[in-house]
Amino acid sequence: MLNQTLKNEIKRFRHYLHQIPELGFQEIKTQAFIKSELLKLSFEVEEVAETGLIALKRGKENQAIAFRADMDALAVHEKTNVDFISTHEGRMHACGHDGHMSILLGFASYISNLQLKKDIVLIFQPAEEGPGGAKIIIQDGYLQKYHVEKIFGLHVYPEIPEGKIGLTDGVLMGQAGEFDITIHAISCHGAMPQNGVDGIYVASQLIQTYQSIISRNVNPIESGVVTIGKIRGGEARNVIASKIHLNGTVRAFNGEIYDLIKKRMEVINKGIENMFNIQVEMVFRDLYPPLVNDHHFYLLMKKILKEEEIIKLKPIMISEDFSYYLQTVPGYFLMLGSRNEELGYTYPLHSCHFNFDDKILYRGVELYIQICEELNVF
C-alpha cells in the first residue's frame, strides 16, 4: 500500500523528531518541523493550544474525520544506542509520540494528492503527558470549527507483538487523578518521641490505611489503584520529623469507583488527624476521564483488520487525554503492537531504553488509510 519513497519519508520524520524531544507546551521545534512539512504538502495549517497544530485537507463535503497524534516527550535520560538519540539532555520520546507524529505526517503525505469526499483534519496535540492539550483544543471550539464528526488515534504498545493490533469494545484506559499530601506533625528529639508526633509514623499509618480502600471498600469485581509514588520528610536521624510530603495517583475504570476512592481518602485523612491530633493537608487533581471506545467503530475495526492481526485487550490502568475527544464525538483509539523480542524491543513505555522498529509506523499509516476507505472518505 505504501511505496518505498513514502516509507523512507516516515522513517526520516521519526528519526528527526526523536532527536528533538520537548515537554508539554514546550514543543517549539517540534511544531516548527511539523508545520514546515505540512505546508510543503499544501495543507491549511493553524497553530492551536500554544504549541499544537491542526491541518486541514478539504474534501467535497465539509463534514470531517479527524486523526490525532500527541507531540510531547518525557523528562527521561535516554539510554538507547540508536544513531538518532535525543539531542536534548534529560528529554526523551520514551512513550512513542515521535512515532505517532510520524504516522500522521506519513498519512498526510499519502492523502496530499488525493481527491477527498470529506474533509480530513489532522490534530497534532501538545502535552498529552500532562497537563493535557486535548481539553484545550476542545474548549477552544476547534472540533466544531472544523466540523469533526468522528476521530481516531493510536498508541504504540510494547505489550503486544509487532503486526498485532489491540482492540477493546468499550473501556480501554482508566480515569486518573493525582494528589499531594502534607502531614503537619510535631518535631522533637528522637530520643524523646513522647514530646512530639512522629510524622513518618503517621505517614506509614496513612499509606497502609489507603490500601484498605481497594481491598475493603471496592467491589471485588471492580478495579482501582491507589499508589504513593514519592515520600519526602525528615531532617536528621535523631529528630522526629514534623513535616512529611506524599505524592501519588488514583486510577479506576469506573467513575463511581474513582469518586468512592477520593471520598474514602478524605475520611481516612480526618481519622488520622483525630487519632494523632495533627493536620493532614491534601490537594487532589482530577486528570483524564476513562477512555471509552465506541462500539460501532469497534465493529468497523474488526471488519477492516484480519482476524489474525487482532488482539482483544483487557482495559489497562494507564490514562490518555484522547478520552476527552471521545466524550465529544464518537471515535476509536487502538494499540499498535511494537514488541519484538528478537530485536530487543521489549522495554515498557516510559523506559529510558524504550524503542521500536520503524516498520510498525508503516502499518499505522495503512490503518488510517483503511479507515478512510471503509468510511468512504476517498
pLDDT tens across 248-287, in order? Answer: 999 999 999 999 999 999 999 999 999 999 999 999 999 9
Among this protein's residues, is 129 annotated catalytic? yes
Give the fold, CATH level 3, of 4-174+290-374.
Answer: Aminopeptidase (3.40.630)
Distances in Å between the alpha carbon of 342 and those of 73, 121, 174? Answer: 26, 37, 31
Q: Are strands 331-339 and 171-173 parallel, antiparallel or unpaired?
A: unpaired
Q: Is 347 helix (H, G, I), strand (E, B) or coil?
A: coil
**CA–CA separation, 255 and 261 (whole Å):** 10
**CA–CA separation, 200 and 268 (whole Å):** 16
What does the DSSP 8-state code read for residue 319? -
pLDDT tens digits for 199-208?
999 999 999 9
User: C-alpha angle with apex 111: 105 to 116, nearest 5 degrees?
Assistant: 140
**Ordered strands of the 148-161 beta sheet:** 44-48, 52-57, 118-125, 61-70, 148-161, 331-339, 165-167, 310-312
pLDDT tens digits for 16-65?
999 999 999 999 999 999 999 999 999 999 999 999 999 999 999 989 99
Q: How confident is the model at residue 352 (pLDDT cuts 50, 70, 90)?
A: very high
**Cβ neighbours of residue 208 under 8 Å, at least 6 residues apart?**
none
Of 9, 70, 294, 320, catalytic: 70
Give the fold, CATH level 3, of 176-286.
Answer: Alpha-Beta Plaits (3.30.70)
Structure confidence at residue 159 (pLDDT): 98
Taking residues 333-342, report their average pLDDT. 98
With pLDDT > 70 as the criterion, what percentage of the chain qualifies? 100
Give the residue range(s) of CATH 3.40.630.10 domains in the chain. Answer: 4-174+290-374
Give the residue range(s) of CATH 3.30.70.360 domains in the chain. Answer: 176-286
Q: Cα 175 from chain centroid?
A: 11
**CA–CA separation, 321 and 279 (whole Å):** 34
Would the pLDDT of 332 be above 90?
A: yes
Which residue matches cell numbers 535520560? 77
Structure confidence at residue 62 (pLDDT): 86
Among this protein's residues, is 70 annotated catalytic? yes
Rounded (10°) angle between helices 359-374 and 97-111: 50
Q: Which three cell numbers stand for residue 272?
A: 488520622
User: C-alpha angle with apex 318: 289 to 128, nearest 5 degrees?
Assistant: 70
Of 9, 72, 119, 129, catalytic: 129
